[in-house]
Structure 1
């Protein structure tokens, strides 16, 4: 088995493999199928313009957002320790909207589209409803970087709350400020009240909907607030490999771009009617150069068409 499988992976084949790995649930998203749509506001910091001229990040705006749990199963339980948590949000106004997608692990599970397709195909259930663990182990041994995300999740306690989770962007975005200076940044979305976690045993004892119940309770009490941080690049940082972190990401220099406050629950149709399109970025934030990002927009559009 090659280290980076070669083939004809396309956004459509990735969507098909995501659906197959989840057991072909009808009408759901190919990934992060179970979620809750919310609304809020964004207020820019006085330092945002140092990093980007994007009006999405330098002007106050309304926010449409969605919290979700990883995987293509719309019935997945919240007490799955190994499930990713995702936060997708849209900032800005007419003519300058940006969609940002961040998750509870700071790396993706594949470096290239071909590798992502092979990763998913290895996990498609057999006739008995379970994947072939021998095939998965062989693929993981030949492609160790595809285990970085799972290893990170296993090494960290599960979140007690969507509102108490740190979310990471896995892509490096070129950000240009008003002076025309460009540098790469990664997004890090930090809960203003700090992280809140559980032990693995306590997570198992929680009901299947505990994250969503907690979210609604915290929104009602006005307790869902995040700082939008830009991690700043250093010479030698990778901008192409989304399976690895920048060195010392947990403690490196960062600038607070602004604050998101979630103020209410929206009908899920408000988020389901379209997609949070990662290619939708207002001037001042450019497209990351990596292969995975390049496929995301088309894949999300294909997934939307399938669930319609």
Structure 2
């Protein structure tokens, strides 16, 4: 197989490749299959309207959210330090809703849909149940930007709690405020109580579902709060390539849009009954211009139909 994109990718082929890579688990999400549905509230800050006029972010609302562990295996161990953690949430009222999908790394693993399909195909297991490591290595050499996400994960300790993990929206979102001024932002969801991490030895000792058990222990004490931050763009920031970060992204200006407080566990059926649709954004937050985002709505719709 060529190590270079061929132009054959579609949202349907991406979903099929995701399912093939992880063994075609039936009735589960193609990605971030293992998760826990939760409920909470959103309280906007007095600075939110400076960034966006979206009523999802400038008005208080209930929140439906889902914490998750990356990959398509619904039985993956929570301590697996090679996969992402996810946090998807829905803000706003019925006609002013926004769905925001975030993850525990600030970049995606592919720049284009073709590259994403080639990345997944390179990792599809062979007859022995394992991917061809030489094929994976050859693809990575030919497409070095696809290693940025894995390198970020490898450079950071495993999360010790969903509540103590920082999450990013990897896309550049055009945000328009009440003065009709538009600029790009990136979402960063920061735990109010600080980061909670594990050493590799500690992670090895954890039970398979420890992140989920930790949620159940923290929620009664109201210990799960996140600041919803908007990282502000600067001239020349890359807005089309989700495999790279904005320059000095960790040290640039950010505005707190509001606070999410998780208040209770919900039955997973409450989140499984619909999909967190990245294209569902209330006016004032626009669709990012990159190719990956453009395909995500269709891919989510296809995956949702398959698991229904």
2:277 match: 277
Task: Tell me how large the CA RMSD over aligned residues is.
Answer: 0.9
Does structure 1 residue 291 correspond to structure 2 residue 299?
A: no
2:190 match: 190
1:259 match: 259
2:33 match: 33
Instruction: Give the distance between the partners of 2:112 and 2:53, measured in 1 at CA.
Output: 30
1:140 match: 140
Structure 1 residues without counterparts, runs of 5 or longer = none
Q: TM-score, normalised by structure 1?
A: 0.99
Cα drift, residue 6 of structure 1 = 2.4
Q: TM-score, normalised by structure 2?
A: 0.99
Instruction: Give the distance between the partners of 1:4 and 1:133, measured in 2 at CA.
Output: 17
Instruction: Give the distance between the partners of 1:142 and 1:254, measured in 2 at CA.
Output: 35
Residues paired across the two proteins, number: 308
Instruction: Give the distance between the partners of 2:241 and 2:204, measured in 1 at CA.
Output: 34
Cα drift, residue 2 of structure 1 = 7.0
Instruction: Give the distance between the partners of 2:138 and 2:22, measured in 1 at CA.
Output: 20
Deviations 1:104-157 (A, max 9, x none): 000000000000000000111111111111100000000000000000000001
2:203 match: 203
1:122 match: 122
Runs of 4+ in structure 1 off by over 2 angstroms are: 1-4
2:10 match: 10
Counterpart mapping for 1:62-81 below 5 A: 62-81=62-81
Instruction: Give the distance between the partners of 1:247 and 1:3, measured in 2 at CA.
Output: 29
1:92 match: 92
Does structure 1 residue 231 correspond to structure 2 residue 231?
A: yes
Structure 2 residues without counterparts, runs of 5 or longer = none
C-alpha contact 1:53 1:178 (8 A) present in aligned 2:
yes
3-state SS of 1:296 partner: helix
1:104 match: 104
1:20 match: 20
3-state SS of 1:250 partner: helix
Quickly say closer, same or farther: Cα 1:138–1:304, change in 2 above 3 A.
same
3-state SS of 2:219 partner: helix
Quickly say closer, same or farther: Cα 1:4–1:237, change in 2 above 3 A.
farther
